[in-house]
């Protein structure tokens, strides 16, 4: 029994997923505050500031001066959990369902672009493309399926762009990505279900390389289209698993070596930016993400420290590919002020069968507003606010070693960001 408990507890603990960022799965959208104001509708075609290093590296060709861009976004999420119940065999398990498991989280970003001549530009970006932070209360009724989760990817991207002519530009940059995580879950005590729980805590990290490439085509001075490809990145996380418990769980307490292969998916972003007038600009964009790569969690354990039947642990996920669509507007009130707004619809990659309390997400709608202030030609301050609302989804899970848990989730989130651009 204790070996089966460790097996299920470890598999659940390292589920590196989130449902509360402003992009589907465990992706984050917050790599640009100016883009946040239009719900990222023109991410691959706007090329208005140095954040184009991420949005479309080809867009660096449009920047005429050296530019530094620094910013951050804060995300505050809330879940309404209802119709919750949990059981271990015939025994009902008590617990709370507060729905405040996501602390306010900051997402930083920074970019630098330097035009080398009329055709070539160099750029450098530091940003967070994937991440999560969830921490359920200790008495959470579904704690055997989800407890604390912290995963973060930090990316450094040196980039070059080349402008072939007045219409066509291309850009490319390798990405150096560091992932780290700490995840925990509770383990059901078979002698006292619902009390005297055990704990599983997993920590690990890795560094891997990917790339971003983009194309920008300017049909007219008022209309341009862009396509950006963000590659998949394959990680091999290595770390340790710490198991604690007493009584029936004492036999599995200790520290174990563990590793997990995780691939963050590739995505393609396409958008069009069109100046309707000297003051009004329209942005339309779509993003496809290949979440179908995330079919399962497969944990490989050191067979020298664990029994042979625990050398490989598998938990099904079966995510599917997603599309996100957005439309936005910006209005230049004066040479100093620009106002922005946008709306986005984003699909969830989870399915009704495998959805868990760690990923209780549904399709979402995002509304955004923003503003840019340029007190002079050298500096711009951007601010943005986004509101996310998800459809209600049901979680239904049954396990011989974790009991059952079912609930209805309805998630929402607020995002607030600010950035500073300086040109010299």
Chain segment 301-332, per-residue pLDDT in tens: 665 655 444 455 666 778 899 999 999 999 99
* Domain total of the chain: 1
- Determine how many CB atoms are found less than 10 A away from the CB of residue 207: 13
Contact between 259 and 204 (Cβ < 8 Å): yes
Range of weakest confidence among 40-49, 383-392, 402-411, 412-421: 402-411
pLDDT at 59: 97
pLDDT at 226: 98
With pLDDT > 70 as the criterion, what percentage of the chain qualifies?
90
* CATH number of the domain that residue 193 is part of: 2.40.160.60
Confidence of residue 259 (pLDDT cuts 50, 70, 90): confident
Confidence of residue 17 (pLDDT cuts 50, 70, 90): very low
Name the more confident of 398 and 65.
Answer: 65
**pLDDT reading at 73 higher than 90:** yes
Q: Is the residue at 197 inside a domain?
A: yes
Q: What is the pLDDT of residues 210-247, one digit of tens each?
A: 999 999 999 999 999 999 999 999 998 888 888 888 87
- Determine how many CB atoms are found less than 10 A away from the CB of residue 78: 15
First to last CA, the chain: 66
Range of weakest confidence among 125-139, 217-231, 349-363: 349-363
Query: What is the spatial distance between Cα 121 and Cα 54, in angstroms, rounded to a whole number?
Result: 14
pLDDT at 410: 93
Determine the average pLDDT of the residues in 393-416: 90
pLDDT at 401: 77
> 3-state class of 16 per DSSP?
coil
Range of weakest confidence among 110-124, 147-161, 183-197, 267-281: 183-197
Q: How many residues does the chain have?
A: 424
Determine the average pLDDT of the residues in 249-272: 86
pLDDT at 239: 84
Q: Half-sphere exposure of 315 toward its Cβ, with a 13 Å CA cutoff?
A: 22
Query: What is the spatial distance between Cα 235 and Cα 216, in angstroms, rounded to a whole number?
Result: 30
Q: Is the residue at 344 inside a domain?
A: yes
Confidence of residue 293 (pLDDT cuts 50, 70, 90): confident
The secondary structure of 318-341 as a DSSP string is ----EEEEEEEEEEE-SSSEEEEE
Q: Is the residue at 6 inside a domain?
A: no
> 3-state class of 5 per DSSP?
helix
Please state, rounded to an integer, the average pLDDT across all residues of the chain.
88
**pLDDT reading at 43 higher than 90:** yes
Query: What is the spatial distance between Cα 217 and Cα 290, in angstroms, rounded to a whole number?
Result: 25
Cβ neighbours of residue 175 under 8 Å, at least 6 residues apart? 155, 156, 157, 209, 210, 211, 212, 231, 233
Q: Is the residue at 1 inside a domain?
A: no
Q: Half-sphere exposure of 68 toward its Cβ, with a 13 Å CA cutoff?
A: 3
pLDDT at 313: 62
Global pTM reads 0.89
Q: Is the residue at 288 inside a domain?
A: yes
358: phi > 0 → left, psi -120 to 50 → alpha, else beta; which?
alpha
pLDDT at 3: 46
Q: What is the pLDDT of residues 177-213, one digit of tens each?
A: 999 988 888 888 888 888 888 888 888 899 999 999 9
Determine the average pLDDT of the residues in 243-268: 83
Q: Is the residue at 4 inside a domain?
A: no
Query: What is the spatial distance between Cα 359 and Cα 275, in angstroms, rounded to a whole number?
Result: 39
pLDDT at 414: 95
**pLDDT reading at 9 higher than 50:** no
Q: Is the residue at 136 inside a domain?
A: yes
Torsion of CA 286, 320, 76, 228, to 10 degrees: -30
Q: Alpha helices, DSSP H only, in 68-137?
A: none
Q: Is the residue at 5 inside a domain?
A: no
**pLDDT reading at 23 higher than 90:** no
Range of weakest confidence among 109-118, 147-156, 294-303: 294-303
Domain around 66:
14-421
């Amino acid at each position: 029994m204790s070996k089966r408990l460790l097996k299920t507890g470890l598999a659940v603990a390292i589920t590196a997923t989130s449902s509360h960022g402003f992009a589907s799965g465990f992706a984050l959208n917050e790599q640009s505050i100016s883009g946040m104001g239009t719900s990222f509708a023109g991410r691959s075609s706007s090329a208005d500031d140095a954040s184009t290093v991420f949005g479309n590296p080809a867009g660096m060709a449009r920047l005429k001066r050296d530019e530094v861009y620094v910013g951050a976004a804060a995300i505050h999420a809330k879940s309404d959990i209802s119709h919750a119940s949990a059981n271990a065999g015939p025994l009902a398990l008590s617990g709370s369902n507060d729905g405040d498991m996501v602390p306010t989280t900051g997402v930083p970003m920074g970019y630098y672009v330097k035009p080398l001549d009329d055709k070539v530009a160099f750029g450098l970006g530091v940003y967070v493309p994937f991440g999560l932070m969830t921490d359920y209360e200790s008495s959470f009724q579904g704690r055997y399926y989800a407890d604390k989760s912290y995963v973060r990817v930090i990316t450094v991207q040196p980039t070059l762009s080349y402008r072939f002519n007045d219409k066509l530009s291309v850009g490319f940059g390798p990405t150096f990505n560091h992932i780290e995580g700490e995840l925990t879950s509770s383990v059901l005590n078979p002698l006292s279900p619902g009390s005297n729980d055990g704990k599983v805590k997993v920590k690990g990290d890795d560094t891997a390389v990917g790339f971003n490439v983009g194309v920008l085509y300017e049909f007219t001075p008022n209309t341009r289209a862009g396509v950006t490809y963000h590659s998949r990145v394959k990680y091999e996380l290595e770390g340790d698993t710490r198991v604690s418990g007493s009584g029936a769980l004492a036999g599995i307490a200790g520290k174990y070596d563990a590793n997990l292969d995780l691939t963050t998916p590739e995505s393609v972003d396409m958008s069009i930016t069109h100046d309707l007038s000297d003051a009004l600009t329209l942005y339309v964009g779509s993003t496809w993400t290949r979440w179908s790569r995330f079919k399962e969690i497969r944990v490989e354990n050191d067979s020298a420290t664990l029994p042979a039947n625990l050398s490989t642990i598998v938990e099904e996920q079966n995510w599917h590919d997603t599309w996100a669509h957005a439309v936005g507007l910006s209005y230049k009130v004066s040479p100093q002020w620009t106002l922005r707004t946008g709306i986005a619809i984003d699909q969830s990659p989870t399915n009704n069968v495998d959805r868990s309390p760690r990923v209780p997400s549904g399709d979402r709608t995002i509304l955004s507003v923003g503003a840019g202030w340029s007190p002079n030609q050298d500096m711009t301050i951007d601010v943005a606010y986004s509101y996310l609302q998800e459809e209600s989804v049901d979680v239904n899970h049954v396990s011989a070693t974790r009991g059952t848990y079912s609930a209805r989730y309805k998630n929402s989130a607020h995002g607030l960001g600010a950035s500073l651009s300086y040109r010299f």
